[in-house]
A and B are shown apart, each in its own frame.
Chain A
Amino acid sequence: GQQVMQIPQYQHVQEGEDFTTYCNSSTTLSNIQWYKQRPGGHPVFLIQLVKSGEVKKQKRLTFQFGEAKKNSSLHITATQTTDVGTYFCAGAGEYGNKLVFGAGTILRVKS
C-alpha cells in the first residue's frame, strides 16, 4: 500500500535555529496536508498543498510541495519554544484516496 516516509524522526535545536522536516512518497501524491501535535495534545491541521511546486507560508513556517508531487517539506525559521511538538505530513495517492500519515518528526527547542 501507499507509504509516506518522514525524516528526521527527532530533532533537538537551539532556540533561534532553523528546522526542516521532510516527507517522501514513492508514488505521486494528489495532495499533502501537514499537522502539528503539541506535547500532550492532539494533531491540528496546519495547511494543505495541492499543486506541483507549490510554496505556502504561515509566518515563520514555509511549506513546499515538490515538482514531481512526491515530496514535501516544512521549514521553520528561527525556532521558538512554542514550536515544540510533533509535525506530521499526510499524503493521498494520485486519485485522491485516503490520507496516509508519516511517522512524524518530534521537535524539541532548547532555550
Chain B
Amino acid sequence: EAQVTQNPRYLITVTGKKLTVTCSQNMNHEYMSWYRQDPGLGLRQIYYSMNVEVTDKGDVPEGYKVSRKEKRNFPLILESPSPNQTSLYFCASSLTGSSWNTIYFGEGSWLTVV
C-alpha cells in the first residue's frame, strides 16, 4: 500500500531535549517535505527536499533541521525544542516538486514541548 509513515505519532518532551521525527515513503517519490499545522494558520511548510542530498528551507524553518540521505527517508530534527514548536507535524511526499503533482501526507505527529 502506498503510504507515508512518520514516527512517533505522539510525543511529549521537555524544552531543550533533542528529538527526531522520522518519515519514510514507499512510492519512490523524489519530493518530500515537512509541514506544521496550527489553529488558524493552516499548513505551513518547514523544509522540503527536491531529491536525495537536496534540501531547502520552507516558510518556517527556524529551529528545525532535515536531511535526505536516502530517497525514501526525510527525518525532521529539533535540536533544542521550545514550547512554540508544540504543533501537529505532517510529512508529505509527491512524485516531483512540480505543483501539478498530488501531495501525499503522513498521518501526523502530535508534538508537545513543555
Contact = CB atoms under 8 A, between A and B. Distances in A.
Category for how many chain A residues contact B: 20 to 34
Interface in A31-89: 31, 33, 35, 41-45, 48, 50, 88
Contacts of B105: 42-44
Contacts of A96: 98-100
B89 to A, nearest CB: 11
A9 B43 contact: no
Given A96-B99, A102-B42, 14 more contacts: A31-B100, A33-B103, A41-B107, A42-B90, A42-B105, A45-B103, A48-B100, A50-B100, A96-B100, A98-B48, A98-B99, A101-B35, A101-B42, A103-B41
Interface of B: 35, 40-45, 48, 59, 90, 97-100, 102-108
B99 A42 contact: no
26 contacts: A9-B40, A31-B99, A31-B100, A33-B102, A35-B103, A41-B107, A42-B90, A42-B105, A42-B107, A43-B43, A43-B103, A43-B105, A45-B102, A45-B104, A50-B100, A90-B103, A96-B98, A96-B100, A97-B99, A98-B99, A101-B35, A101-B42, A101-B43, A101-B44, A103-B41, A103-B42
Given A43-B43, A103-B41, A98 B103 contact: no
A55 B98 CA distance: 22
A30 to B, nearest CB: 7
B108 A42 contact: yes
